[in-house]
C-alpha cells in the first residue's frame, strides 16, 4: 500500500512540494520532507504553512490505510510550533490515530528533525463521508 500511496501522489500538491510517505499501516503513518529554498518564508525558515500541508498529507495516507475505500475530509487542525526549521533539514511527521471511530478519526502528529528534536505538534480530525 505504501508504494501505491506514493505513486498515486504523482502530479499532486504532495508531489509538487516533495512530501513522501515513508511508513504506513492502519492507525500509523510517517511523512518526510527535505526542506528546500521553495519551502522557506521571507525569514529563511520553514514557512508555517508547510507543517499543515505535511499533516494533511500524512494523515490522509493513514486514513486510507485505516478506512480503505471510504471518502473522507479534514474538519479541524490545531498546530503548535516548537522550533524553526532551516533549509537542508529533513522534517519527519509521525502520525498516530488517537481515535478511529465509525464517523470520524482524531490523529496526533509529532514533527521531528534529524536529531529527534521536537519541531511541532499537530492534532487533526477527519470525518468519514461514506
Measured CA to CA, the distance from residue 130 to residue 113 in angstroms comes to 36
C-alpha cell at 34: 527535505
Give the rounded percent of residues in the chain with a pLDDT score beyond 70. Answer: 100
Domain 2-128 matching CATH 3.10.129.10: the answer reads yes
Whole-number Å distance between alpha carbons of 88 and 3: 25
pTM beyond 0.85: the answer is yes
Which stretches does DSSP call E strand in the chain?
20-25, 28-34, 72-81, 90-100, 104-112, 118-128
Residue 88 has pLDDT above 80, yes or no: yes
- Please report, for the chain, the start and end positions of each structural domain, with discontinuous segments joined by +: 2-128
Q: What is the pLDDT of residues 48-58, one digit of tens each?
A: 999 999 999 99
Question: Is residue 62 within 8 Å of 28, Cβ to Cβ?
Answer: yes
Amino acid at each position: 500500500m505504501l508504494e501505491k500511496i506514493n505513486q498515486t501522489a504523482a502530479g499532486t500538491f504532495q508531489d509538487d512540494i516533495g512530501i513522501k510517505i515513508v511508513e504506513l499501516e492502519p492507525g500509523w503513518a510517517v511523512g518526510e520532507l527535505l526542506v528546500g529554498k521553495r519551502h522557506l518564508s521571507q525569514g529563511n525558515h520553514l514557512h508555517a504553512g508547510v507543517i499543515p500541508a505535511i499533516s494533511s498529507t500524512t494523515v490522509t495516507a493513514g486514513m486510507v490505510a485505516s478506512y480503505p475505500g471510504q471518502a473522507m475530509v479534514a474538519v479541524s487542525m490545531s498546530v503548535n510550533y516548537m522550533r524553526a526549521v532551516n533549509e537542508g533539514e529533513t522534517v519527519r511527521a509521525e502520525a498516530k490515530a488517537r481515535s478511529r471511530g465509525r464517523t470520524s478519526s482524531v490523529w496526533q502528529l509529532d514533527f521531528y528533525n534529524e536529531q529527534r528534536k521536537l519541531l511541532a505538534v499537530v492534532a487533526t480530525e477527519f470525518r468519514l463521508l461514506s
